[in-house]
Structure 1
Amino acid sequence: MAGRVEGKVAFITGVARGQGRAHAIRLAEEGADIIGVDLLGEVDTVDYPMATPDDLAETTAAVARLGRRIVTAVADVRDEDALRAAVDTGVAELGRLDIVVANAGISGTAAATDQLSLRAWQTVLDIDLTGCFLTAKVALPHLVAGGRGGSVILTSSMLGLKGQGWMAGYVSAKHGLVGLMRSLANEFAHALIRVNSVHPGNVRTPMIDNASLRGMLRPDLESPTIDDAAAVLGALHLMPVPLIEAVDVANAVLFLASDEARYITGVALPIDAGATAKG
């Protein structure tokens, strides 16, 4: 039985770990080959470690074990030339492009807005918003040239649909992605290219499960674990689930990438255990 994205090729940013890895594996399980990029370097305004070459190797091996091809490159989503080279090389090797998942992102600096440095503000906007713009910019010509339509999925956040203090850069960038998504949906519908955004809640990835955030959420403990922080995190969700798994987001990405969603475009889809439904 053919997979839901059998024979298609997906371009995924931030592919080395977390949600990006989950998307690569889930799409590969359903028949897609993968073009993947990741920074594999630190960001000085972020207080948790970024992905490593070993992380990218693990993603590559996981896709290969599924019998699918994967072409990877080290690229910063803020670097248009590097992104274009990565996708051009991947398409030349794999023969086509059908799916784009602009997933790379950082949480940025947690601070009151009047204490937030311009550098920290600009970095999160450059990666989380401009990085998605550049990803779409370099990939869309391949989708148009292919003449088969396609699916572009931007990774926003539950905080792209609701407010939150002390994260002005992140919240602004993730709200901005909704505007970018709707603009692209209008511009490329004529070519049967669908553009949607996904809005995860608290996902069990290094962006959430790291010493800095755990300590901020539970300052009463010396070395809090993710389980210690769960009660605080869970207060953001409507359902009694403090953390969702990356595969839960990947399942939504798979749906939006598949022909099952062939007439769905311009939609902001929450996968957030009801967080955006809370009063």
Structure 2
Amino acid sequence: MGKLDGKVAFITGAARGQGRSHAIRLAQEGADIIAVDSLTDIDTVDYPMSTQSEMDETVNQVKALNRRIHTTKADVRDFAAMKSAYQNGVAAIGPVDIVLGNAGICQLGSKETDPVQSFGDVIGVNLIGVWNTVFVAAQDMVDRGAGGSIVLTSSTQGLSGRGADGSGGVQGYAAAKHGVVGLMRSFANWLSPHGIRVNTVHPTGVATPMVENNVVGKYLQENPQATQMAANLMPVGLMDPADVSNAILYLVSDDGRYVTGVTLPVDAGFNAK
């Protein structure tokens, strides 16, 4: 018996990184998965976005756990595409109990030729995309009357501006991750009376392709002060994605059945500094 037997989870950014980890962890506990990812590069982001082969690997790992998975290529910034991805997923897998607004980008170290575009792209993916993700599912969850859980991925930068510089992309990241907290609190006030809990998680640096790439690596090598400012209190560099997935499992399972409206740091003490 798993903690999520019979549940269906709608997860964005599921092709790799934290999104894949969340899909696998929830599948291990019995959930079926509706997985969404853009699988398309963004001009203002210097590292490559996820690929179809990476999404295929997510599918393989979920199916190896004897769970069902339905995938869609969709940009979280496109509301119509997200609505279609959600509806097609529900038709294929079943009604959604869990929503994870996980998709995100980071432009740390990118060559910023247009800070306005950089700022707009980050806000689009990391904030508007989160609203789109929740909004396409929320009313259905209310109408169904079965409760549920929504977790939005913020960041240590959603609780602190520490380590920011003057680039539009980096400032957009902090603004979006703070904005996600506002969305969470707004959704929690609307949805919690319907038995739908809404929370945010705030990871420190996580070992995913968004962080472990040549662009970010070069930036940190050339700007050691940034590494020091982003250091955790605990002797931890980058966390494993599974550490965030385990926190999310707590929030979406009955273990966290009375937890809503919470900003949960998974940050090795980053925000205590």
Q: TM-score range by the shorter chain?
A: over 0.9
Unaligned runs of 5+ residues in structure 1 are 221-228
**How much does 1:235 deviate?**
5.2
| Equivalent residue, structure 2, for 1:11 | 10
1:244 has 2:239 as partner: yes
Aligned residue for 1:218, secondary structure, equals helix
- Work out which of the residue numbers 150, 153, 173 in structure 1 matches 2:151: 153
Which residue of structure 1 aligns with residue 140 of structure 2? 142
TM-score, normalisation: structure 2: 0.94
Q: Amino acid of the residue matched to residue 130 of structure 2?
A: C
Structure 1 residues 28 and 234: alpha-carbon distance in aligned structure 2, compared to 1, 3 A threshold: farther
Q: Could you give the per-residue CA deviations for residues 211-263 of structure 1, whole angstroms, max 9, x where no partner exists?
A: 0111011139xxxxxxxx8x937952110001100000000111111011111
Picking from 104, 124, 127, the partner of 2:125 is: 127
Please give the per-residue CA displacement for 1:76-129, whole angstroms capped at 9, x wherever unaligned: 00111111111111111222110000000001355899x861111011001000
Query: CA offsets, 1:2-33, max 9 Å, x none?
Result: 11111100000000000000000000000000
Query: In the alignment, what sits opposite 1:223?
Result: none
Q: Counterpart of 1:151 in 2: which secondary structure?
A: strand
Matched, 1:177 2:177: no
Partner of 1:39: 38
Letter in 2 for 1:161: L
Q: CA RMSD in A?
A: 1.9
Structure 2, gaps ≥5 residues long: none
Alignment of 1:277 onto 2:258: no
CA contact (8 A) 2:44 2:110 kept: no
Q: C-alpha separation between the residues in 1 aligned to 2:32 and 2:160?
A: 34
Look up the equivalent residue of 1:200 and give its one-letter code.
P
The aligned runs of 1:54-69 (5 Å cut-off) are: 54-69=53-68
User: Would the aligned equivalents of 1:12 and 1:35 in 2 still touch at CA under 8 Å?
Assistant: yes
What is the CA-CA distance between 1:190 and the residue it aligns to?
1.5
My pick for the range that moved more, 38-47 or 141-150, is: 141-150
After TM superposition, the structure 1 = structure 2 runs for residues 213-228 of structure 1, keeping only pairs within 5 Å, are 213-219=216-222
Structure 1 counterpart of 2:99: 100
Find the aligned partners of 1:233 and 1:180 in 2 and give their Cα distance: 30
Task: Assess if the C-alpha contact under 8 Å between 2:46 and 2:110 holds in 1.
Answer: no
Opposite residue 151 of structure 2, the aligned amino acid is I
Alignment of 1:197-236 (within 5 A): 197-219=200-222, 232=227, 236=231
Partners of 1:139 and 1:242 lie apart in 2 by 35
1:138 aligned partner, one-letter code: V
For residues 205 and 112 of structure 1, what CA distance do their matches in structure 2 show? 20
Partner letter of residue 203 of structure 1? Answer: V
| Correspondent of 2:250 among 255, 268, 273 | 255
Displacement over 4 Å in runs of 4+: 109-113
1:183 maps to a residue whose letter is S
In structure 2, the CA distance between the partners of 1:32 and 1:161, relative to structure 1 (3 Å rule), is same
> What's 2:74 paired with?
75
Distance (whole Å) between structure 2 residues aligned to residue 203 and residue 234 of structure 1: 16
